[in-house]
Chains A and B, each alone.
Chain A
Amino acid sequence: MNDQSNKPRTPDEVGVPDPFPYMHPTLKANYGNWDWHDRPRAGVLHHVSKSGDEVWTVRAGTQRQMDVFTIRTLADIGDNFADGHVRFTTRSNIEYMVADEAKVAPLIEALEGAGFPVGGTGASVSMISHTQGWLHCDIPGTDASGVVKSLMDELHKDFVEEKMPNRVRITTSCCQINCGGQGDIAVNVQYTKPPKINHDLVANVCERPAVVARCPVAAIRPAMVDGKPSLEVDEKKCVCCGACYPPCPPMQINGAESTKIAIWVGGKHSNARSKPTFHKLAIANLPNNPPHWPEVRDVVRKIVDAYKADAKHWERMGEWIERIGWSRFFEMTDLAFTKHHLDTWTGSRKTMNMSAHVHF
C-alpha cells in the first residue's frame, strides 16, 4: 500500500442525484407535458401526454425493509416484464412504468406471482407509512415493521381493491414523537407512566439543562439524589410524552406493560376539499401486544369498515366524521368517548364546540 491509499478519500459532495439518468424514457420525454390520467383497474395508472405518448404504471406493495434478494427479485421483474425503470412512492410502494399496454397484464401476474400485491391506488387502503421500531430505533416503544405487516395482512383486500369512499392513509409511529405523521388512521405509541430514572447514570450521560428545557410541561428539575447530581420529575405534572428520554436515556419511558398504543383518526395532508387536518384521538390504552397486535388490528378493522359502509364517495375519514358527528362515530365504531378525548393542551379552546350545533 502506498501513502496515497492511506489518505482518506475526499468525498464528492454531489448532493441530491439527478433523476433523469434513471427515469423511464417516456417520462423523461414528456417531462412537464402530461395531459390527463385514468385508472384502468386497481393498482394501474394510465397517463397520457399532450404529445400523445402513453404510459402505464403498475403499483405494488413491498415490505419497505428489503433484503438484497427481494431487491433483486424486484429488479428481475423490472427487466423481464417492464422496461427496466422503477420508482417508489412516499408510502414505499414500488411502481413499474411501461410504454406498452400489452405489458401490463403479464407484469401484474409476475408481481403477484412473486408475492407483491398490486394495488394501493385511488380509493384503496395504501401501504402504511411506518418508522423503525425495535428493529433499528434507539427509543422505540414498539416495533414498526411487525405492526405494519400484521395490519397489511388484515387489510390486503382493501389494498388490492379500490372500494373505499376515498383513499385511506394509515400511519404508525413507535413513540410519541410520531415520525409516521398524520393519517386517516394513526396507530401510535402512547406512554402511560412517567420515566423511571436511573440516578446513577444521569450526571454522566445527560446534559441536564437541555433535558430540563426539553420538557413541554416544565416537570423536570435538577436535584441531588443520594448525593449524586441528577434530575427529578414532578409526576403530577408529567404528561408521559417521553420527550426527555432521547436526550437522557437513563430516564426510561418505556415499560413492557406501561407502553400502550393509541389510535387516532381524521388526519389529512391533502388540501383537496377541506384544509389539511390533524388526527384526533379515537382510543387509548390498547396493549402493545406483539407479534400480531390483535387488539389494534380489531379496532382498525372496525374503523375502516364503518368508514367504508357510511362515508360518501370522495369523503376522507375526517370529512366523513365531520359530517356525521363525533357521537355517531363513537357509536358506529363501538368505542368509548371519555374525559381523555377533551383536549387540554394550548389552543384546546378552539377544539370545543362553541355553538348550539348538536348531532342527535
Chain B
Amino acid sequence: MKDDASKKDINPTPMLDELEGGKWPSFVTGLKRLRDEGTPNNQEMVNDLLGQLNHSYEERLGFWKGGTLSVFGYGGGIIPRFSEVADRFPASKEFHTLRVMPPAGYHYTTDLLRQMADVWERHGSGLIAFHGQSGDIMFQGCSSENAQPAFDELNAMGFDLGGAGPALRTAMSCVGHARCEQSCYDEVRAHRSIINKFLDEMHRPALPYKFKFKFSGCANDCVNAIHRADFAVIGTWRDDMKVNQEKVKEHVAEKGRKYTIDTVISMCPTRALSLNDDDTLDVDNRSCVRCMHCINVMTKALSPGDDKGVSIMIGGKRSLKVGDLMGTMIVPFMKLDTDEDFEALEDFAETCIEFFADNALEHERIGETIDRIGLPAFLEAVEVDPDPNMVNHPRTSSYVRTDDFDEAAAEWFEKKAREAGLTVSAE
C-alpha cells in the first residue's frame, strides 16, 4: 500500500523487522498493523513507538522515564512513561500504562475482549498486554490527557485500576474451582473478598512498600504464590487423600509396574507410598505432605481429601534487597468454607497488613521485616503460636536465652489440651 503523502514518514525499523519472521506470533507485526491500519491516533503514536523501540535496539539502552499521573480519586494504578527522545519521536512522548484488574481467574467473553479493544483503540495506542507480571491487564500507550476518559469508560464497564507503588497490589488466582479437580478452596471468593476489602490500600498508596496476595488452589501453585506474594494462600487438605484402587490398577496395567514405581512411588518426597502386590496403592497419610505429585500423575485414581482448607505462607519476594525469599509457612491449616471462615481469613490478612504498615521500614517487604525482627517477634505481633510446620528443623544455634522455656512449654501443652477438647486447669 502506498503511504498517504499527508502522513508523517514511517520510521525505519530495520532491527525490529528481524523479529517478524519465525513461527511464534510477532508483537512487531502487531505493532506495525496498528501503525498502518489503526485509527489515525494509533497510527501516529505507534509509528513513533516503533521508532523509539528500534532506537533502543540500536543503542541497547532504554529511553523512558517515570513521573506522576493519576485519575480522579486514585493515587496509583497508572504507570507514567515519558519519552527521553521525544524530539525524535514526538507522537509517543507520553506512553502511559493503565493497570486494570481482570476478572478473578482471567475469564473473558469474546465480547468483553472486543469492548476492551474498542476502548483502547479510541483512547490509547491499541496495544494491550494480557497480562502483566503482577496480574493486571496492561492498557499501554496513553497520553496524559486521555488517561481520565479511558479510565472512565473502563470503569463504567465494571473494571477498576490495579495497584502500583507502595501499596496493596493486584492479586492473581489460579483457574481453580472453575476447571480443576485439584482445587481445595473457592479461589474466586477468597481473591475477591480479600482484595475488595482492602481497596483503599491499593488505590491510595500509603504502605511502606508493595504488598501482594496470590491464591493457588493446591500446592502445584500455578500462580507462583509462594515466591511472588507477600501473603500466599495455597489450598490443602488434612484428612486422607482419596484413592480409587480400581483406577490405580488400571493405571499400573496401562503404564506398567516399573514405570509406576519409578514415577509415582519413588518420587514421593516423604516415602509415604507403596505399591501393593495386587497393584493397589498403600498410602501413609500421616507422612504425606500434600505435595500433589502422585495426584498429578494419576489424575483419575487419586485426589485431595474431603477436609479441605488453606495454608498461608508469608514473606515471598525477589532479590531486592536482602535476597530472594520464599514465603514461610505461618498458618499450616485454616478452613475456608463458611462465611465465618472467610471473615477469619480477612481478619488475619488485616492483621498482617497493619503489622506491615506499622513496622516495616520504607521500601522493606514484609519478608524482610520478619528477617530483621525474627520469626518469634512476628508471630507474637500477629498472634499466631509457633508450630513445627513453620520450620525445616528446630534451631541449631545455641545462642538464645531460654529462661522462660518452661512457661512457653506450658503454653504448648495447654494449647494441645484445648485442641484435644480437654479443660485446662487454670481456667
B95 within 8 A of A: yes
Asked if A136 and B64 sit within 8 Å, CB to CB, the answer is yes
Chain B residues positioned under 8 Å from A134 (CB to CB): 53, 56-57, 61-63
Known: A10-B73, A288-B60. A65 touches B30 (CB 8 A): yes
Q: CB within 8 Å of B: which of A301-346?
A: 312-314, 345-346
Chain A residues positioned under 8 Å from B253 (CB to CB): none
Chain B residues positioned under 8 Å from A86 (CB to CB): 107-110, 113
Known: A32-B183, A291-B18. A66 touches B160 (CB 8 A): no
Chain A residues positioned under 8 Å from B62 (CB to CB): 133-134, 137-141, 254
Asked if A75 and B113 sit within 8 Å, CB to CB, the answer is yes
Residue in contact with A290 in the complex, picked from B60, B196, B199, B303, CB distance below 8 Å: B60
With A11-B160, A18-B103, A19-B106 known, 16 other A-B pairs at CB within 8 A are A13-B203, A19-B104, A23-B105, A37-B299, A66-B30, A66-B130, A67-B38, A68-B38, A75-B110, A90-B174, A97-B179, A153-B23, A178-B319, A270-B220, A272-B293, A291-B19
CB distance from A301 to the nearest CB of B (A): 14
Asked if A314 and B263 sit within 8 Å, CB to CB, the answer is yes
A36 within 8 A of B: yes
Which of B223-231, B338-346, B397-405 contacts the other chain?
B223-231
Q: CB within 8 Å of B: which of A40-88?
A: 47, 55, 57, 61-72, 74-76, 78-79, 84-88
Contact mask for chain B residues 355-388; partner A; CB cutoff 8 A; 1 contact, 0 none: 0000000110000000000000000000000000
B326 within 8 A of A: yes
Chain A residues positioned under 8 Å from B135 (CB to CB): 90
In angstroms, Cα B105 to Cα A272, docked, is 22
Top 8 A-B residue pairs of the complex, sorted by shortest distance between their CB atoms: A153-B22, A67-B30, A19-B103, A271-B219, A15-B196, A134-B56, A152-B24, A75-B110
Asked if A87 and B107 sit within 8 Å, CB to CB, the answer is yes
Q: CB within 8 Å of A: which of B136-166?
A: 140, 148, 151-152, 155-156, 158-160
Chain B residues positioned under 8 Å from A236 (CB to CB): none
Residue in contact with A67 in the complex, picked from B59, B101, B126, CB distance below 8 Å: B126
Chain A residues positioned under 8 Å from B249 (CB to CB): none
- CB nearest to B171 among chain A residues: A16
Asked if B30 and A78 sit within 8 Å, CB to CB, the answer is no
In angstroms, Cα B164 to Cα A73, docked, is 31
A residues at B contact (CB < 8 Å): 8-24, 27-28, 31-32, 34-38, 47, 55, 57, 61-72, 74-76, 78-79, 84-90, 92, 94, 97, 115-117, 129, 131-143, 145-146, 149-150, 152-153, 156, 176-182, 210, 213-216, 241, 243, 249, 254-256, 259, 269-276, 278, 288, 290-292, 312-314, 345-347
CB distance from A48 to the nearest CB of B (A): 8
In angstroms, Cα B104 to Cα A312, docked, is 36
Asked if A271 and B291 sit within 8 Å, CB to CB, the answer is yes
Chain B residues positioned under 8 Å from A57 (CB to CB): 179
Asked if A35 and B181 sit within 8 Å, CB to CB, the answer is yes
B262 within 8 A of A: yes
Chain A residues positioned under 8 Å from B151 (CB to CB): 11
Chain A residues positioned under 8 Å from B72 (CB to CB): 8-11
Which of B3-11, B116-124, B279-287, B412-420 contacts the other chain?
B116-124
Chain B residues positioned under 8 Å from A35 (CB to CB): 181, 303
In angstroms, Cα B31 to Cα A22, docked, is 28
- CB nearest to B80 among chain A residues: A138
- CB nearest to A141 among chain B residues: B62
- CB nearest to A116 among chain B residues: B25
Asked if A36 and B104 sit within 8 Å, CB to CB, the answer is no
Asked if A291 and B15 sit within 8 Å, CB to CB, the answer is yes
Chain A residues positioned under 8 Å from B188 (CB to CB): 18-20
- CB nearest to B124 among chain A residues: A68
Chain B residues positioned under 8 Å from A15 (CB to CB): 101, 160, 192, 195-196, 199
Residue in contact with A34 in the complex, picked from B49, B181, B300, B322, CB distance below 8 Å: B181
In angstroms, Cα B320 to Cα A330, docked, is 28
In angstroms, Cα B296 to Cα A122, docked, is 10
Residue in contact with A214 in the complex, picked from B60, B140, B363, CB distance below 8 Å: B363
- CB nearest to B297 among chain A residues: A314
Asked if B323 and A38 sit within 8 Å, CB to CB, the answer is no
Known: A22-B107, A36-B299. A273 touches B291 (CB 8 A): yes
Chain B residues positioned under 8 Å from A254 (CB to CB): 61-62
Chain A residues positioned under 8 Å from B172 (CB to CB): 90
Asked if B33 and A71 sit within 8 Å, CB to CB, the answer is no
Asked if A312 and B262 sit within 8 Å, CB to CB, the answer is yes
Chain B residues positioned under 8 Å from A142 (CB to CB): 60
CB distance from A322 to the nearest CB of B (A): 12
In angstroms, Cα B286 to Cα A218, docked, is 48
Chain B residues positioned under 8 Å from A13 (CB to CB): 73, 160, 199, 203
Residue contacts A-B, CB under 8 angstroms, 19 given: A14-B160, A15-B160, A16-B192, A66-B127, A68-B126, A71-B114, A86-B107, A86-B113, A134-B57, A136-B64, A140-B62, A146-B16, A146-B57, A210-B363, A269-B221, A271-B226, A271-B292, A312-B262, A346-B323
Residue in contact with B219 in the complex, picked from A24, A66, A153, A272, CB distance below 8 Å: A272
Contact mask for chain B residues 14-51; partner A; CB cutoff 8 A; 1 contact, 0 none: 01101101111111101101100110001000000100
Chain A residues positioned under 8 Å from B118 (CB to CB): 68
Chain B residues positioned under 8 Å from A214 (CB to CB): 321, 363
Known: A136-B140, A182-B224, A313-B262. A345 touches B323 (CB 8 A): yes
In angstroms, Cα B324 to Cα A329, docked, is 23
Asked if A65 and B127 sit within 8 Å, CB to CB, the answer is yes
